[in-house]
Amino acid sequence: MLQFKKSDLCVEQVKLSDIAERYGTGVYVYSKNQIIENFESYKKALGTKSGLICFACKTNSNGVILKLLSKLGAGADTTSGGEIYRCLKAGFDPLKIVYAGVGKSAEEIEYALKSKILMFNVESFEELDAIDKIARKMKVKAKISLRVNPYVDPRTHSYIVTGRKGTKFGIPYKDALRAYLLAKQKGNITIVGIHSHIGSQILDIAPFRLAAKKIKDIVDSVEKNIVKLEYINCGGGLGIEYEKDQKAPSPKQLMSEIFDVFDKDRKFIFEPGRSIIGNAGHLLAKVLYRKVSGSKNFLITNVGMNDLIRPTLYKAYHEIVPVRKTNSKKVKTDIVGPICESGDFVGKGRMLPVVEQGDYLLVTYTGAYGAAMSSEYNSRPLLPEILVDGDKTTLIRKRADYRDLLLNEI
Ligand code: LLP
């Protein structure tokens, strides 16, 4: 849905230069129809199988986007009380909300129980204990899956690997049966399934297959000795094509690997985040200044690591494109932000056409973990967000201002 019309780069039918003039820059711009297409491809892949596609709302928690997905039939994968709150406000059925995370606080557990969510994905023995105790106090039963760490390395960036032995996530593989036995003995716990999520931005199908097989072994033992598991939650993690030479498996390929491993009468849960919203959103920036320092050409833009931290934190690659096509020659350029840190960059060593002061640049595929991970560092107000639908634009988050910076100060 990102396309050139003559010389103008557009999201759907809308020229990005028009968005820049109307709403200012930096600004996050999303394509509604790309989100729908991405979600529908998961729904289609699930087909007639019983289950849920739970959008991992840590990737992007804008209420309008959440509402759109809930209307399309999505469930939600949440990771905090705040995310549960946002999802309920956006209209998600609580019975489609799952809740993972290694550090659920007592207040969050209580809030999730009060909200009657579908299930907790429990990540430790002590958390199991805590949920049981709180549920007993509230005189309710807590539905849980155990998040099992299958000891599978998806070989993605080390910060976003979760299924390898020795990470903080899930119940260690070797302890899984013992955890199920213990859960079975708890008075206020109802075991409903199993969960596993091995990492993010995974472009290789093999680790998904391996994890499914290892989880299947646990399912077999649990069902033989302890309890029937209604839900198999396979997590998220499917990568997207940030770079031209990358090839991501489709939801269909992912699911057929998994359905091959398990028998038919299961309820499957998938928790995609990046592959729903990643390529549907982009960050629009303006060139403030140009500079040559040492042997390097710098473009200094008005978006920085507070607006998009992925390049700084993971050395993540986002393609950067001028929103007007030019025939000018390409030069090697570092695209940086205004923050007072040398780690503040959007892209390094990129071959970009010569651009002028005031030109607009699009930092592409920043819909996932872009706005959601932004901060006010250097006292920079949070950016606005725009949803494009055909030739229509809607402001879905207004630009914050200086007063917002002081909002909660006493
Ligand atoms: N389920 C669970 C339990 C997760 O922890 C995650 C992501 C997902 C689902 C969604 O994964 P996805 O489909 O989006 O790969 N901030 C990093 C990514 C962190 C991933 C955290 N967990 C980044 O910008 O690359």
pLDDT single digits (tens) 377-387: 999 999 999 99
- The answer to the question of residue 84 being in a domain is no
Strands 97-99 and 119-122 turn out to be parallel
- pLDDT tens digits for range 38-56: 999 999 999 999 999 999 9
pLDDT reading at 166 higher than 80 = yes
- The answer to the question of residue 161 being in a domain is yes
What's the pLDDT at 338? 98
Is 160 close to ligand 1, i.e. is its CB under 6 Å away?
A: yes
- The answer to the question of residue 51 being in a domain is no
pLDDT reading at 301 higher than 80 = yes
- The answer to the question of residue 126 being in a domain is yes
- Give Cα separations from 379 to 219, 313, 400 (angstroms): 50, 19, 11
Is 344 close to ligand 1, i.e. is its CB under 6 Å away?
A: no
Residue nearest to atom 8 of ligand 1 (CA): 236
Q: Which band of pLDDT confidence, cut at 50, 70 and 90, is reported for residue 163?
A: confident
- Are residues 158 and 205 in contact, defined by beta-carbon separation less than 8 angstroms? no
Q: What mean pLDDT is predicted for residues 332-359?
A: 97
On whether both 295 and 320 belong to a single domain, the answer is yes
Q: Write out the residue range of the structural domain in which residue 350 sits.
A: 2-30+279-403
Percent of the chain with pLDDT over 70: 100
57 catalytic? Reply is no
pLDDT reading at 263 higher than 80 = no
On whether both 393 and 257 belong to a single domain, the answer is no
Is 163 close to ligand 1, i.e. is its CB under 6 Å away?
A: no
What's the pLDDT at 161? 80
Tokens of 17: 């230069």
- Give Cα separations from 358 to 242, 290, 336 (angstroms): 26, 10, 15
What's the pLDDT at 78? 98
Percent of the chain with pLDDT over 90: 94
Tally the C-alpha atoms within 13 A of residue 40's C-alpha that lie toward its C-beta.
Answer: 6
DSSP for 337-391, please give it. Answer: -SSSSTT-EEEEEEEEE---TT-EEEE-S-SSSSGGG---TTT-PPPPEEEEETT
On whether both 267 and 315 belong to a single domain, the answer is no
Last residue of a domain, one of 272, 304, 339: 272
Q: What mean pLDDT is predicted for residues 278-294?
A: 98
pLDDT reading at 394 higher than 90 = yes
Residue 166 vs residue 87, higher pLDDT: 87
Q: Which band of pLDDT confidence, cut at 50, 70 and 90, is reported for residue 156?
A: confident
Q: What mean pLDDT is predicted for residues 253-266?
A: 89
Q: What mean pLDDT is predicted for residues 335-354?
A: 97
pLDDT reading at 359 higher than 90 = yes
On whether both 264 and 329 belong to a single domain, the answer is no
- The answer to the question of residue 61 being in a domain is no
CATH number, domain containing residue 136:
3.20.20.10
Q: What mean pLDDT is predicted for residues 113-117?
A: 98
Q: How many angstroms separate the alpha carbon of residue 234 from the centre of ligand 1?
A: 13
129-138 contacts: CB < 8 A, separation 24 or more?
129/186, 130/104, 130/106, 131/104, 131/188, 131/189, 132/186, 132/187, 132/188, 132/189, 133/188, 134/106, 134/109, 134/110, 135/188, 135/189, 136/187, 136/188, 138/110, 138/113, 138/114
On whether both 247 and 328 belong to a single domain, the answer is no
On whether both 196 and 233 belong to a single domain, the answer is yes
| DSSP state at residue 199 | B
Is 254 close to ligand 1, i.e. is its CB under 6 Å away?
A: no
Tokens of 277: 């919203």
Domains in the chain, number: 2
What's the pLDDT at 54? 98
Strands 75-78 and 97-99 turn out to be parallel
- The answer to the question of residue 157 being in a domain is yes
- The answer to the question of residue 260 being in a domain is yes
Q: Which band of pLDDT confidence, cut at 50, 70 and 90, is reported for residue 15?
A: very high
Q: Which atom of ligand 1 is nearest to the CA of 100?
A: 3
Q: How many angstroms separate the alpha carbon of residue 226 from the centre of ligand 1?
A: 31
Q: Which band of pLDDT confidence, cut at 50, 70 and 90, is reported for residue 245?
A: very high
- The answer to the question of residue 144 being in a domain is yes
Closest CA to 300 of 366, 381, 357, 374: 357
Amino acid at 300: I
CATH number, domain containing residue 390:
2.40.37.10
Strands 392-397 and 142-149 turn out to be unpaired
pLDDT reading at 289 higher than 80 = yes
Is 277 close to ligand 1, i.e. is its CB under 6 Å away?
A: no
Last residue of a domain, one of 223, 248, 272: 272
- Are residues 4 and 11 in contact, defined by beta-carbon separation less than 8 angstroms? no
What's the pLDDT at 160? 80
From 58, 168, 308, the mutation candidate for ligand 1 (largest count of ligand atoms within 8 A of CB) is 58
On whether both 184 and 328 belong to a single domain, the answer is no
From 35, 198, 203, 271, the mutation candidate for ligand 1 (largest count of ligand atoms within 8 A of CB) is 271
Mean pLDDT across the chain? 96
pLDDT reading at 92 higher than 80 = yes
Residue nearest to atom 5 of ligand 1 (CA): 197
On whether both 258 and 322 belong to a single domain, the answer is no
What's the pLDDT at 337? 98
pLDDT reading at 264 higher than 80 = no
Last residue of a domain, one of 256, 272, 288: 272
pLDDT reading at 154 higher than 90 = no
Is 275 close to ligand 1, i.e. is its CB under 6 Å away?
A: yes
pLDDT reading at 224 higher than 90 = yes
Q: What mean pLDDT is predicted for residues 191-208?
A: 96
What's the pLDDT at 265? 75
From 274, 305, 317, the mutation candidate for ligand 1 (largest count of ligand atoms within 8 A of CB) is 274
Of 76-90, 142-156, 295-309, 391-405, which range is least confident? 142-156
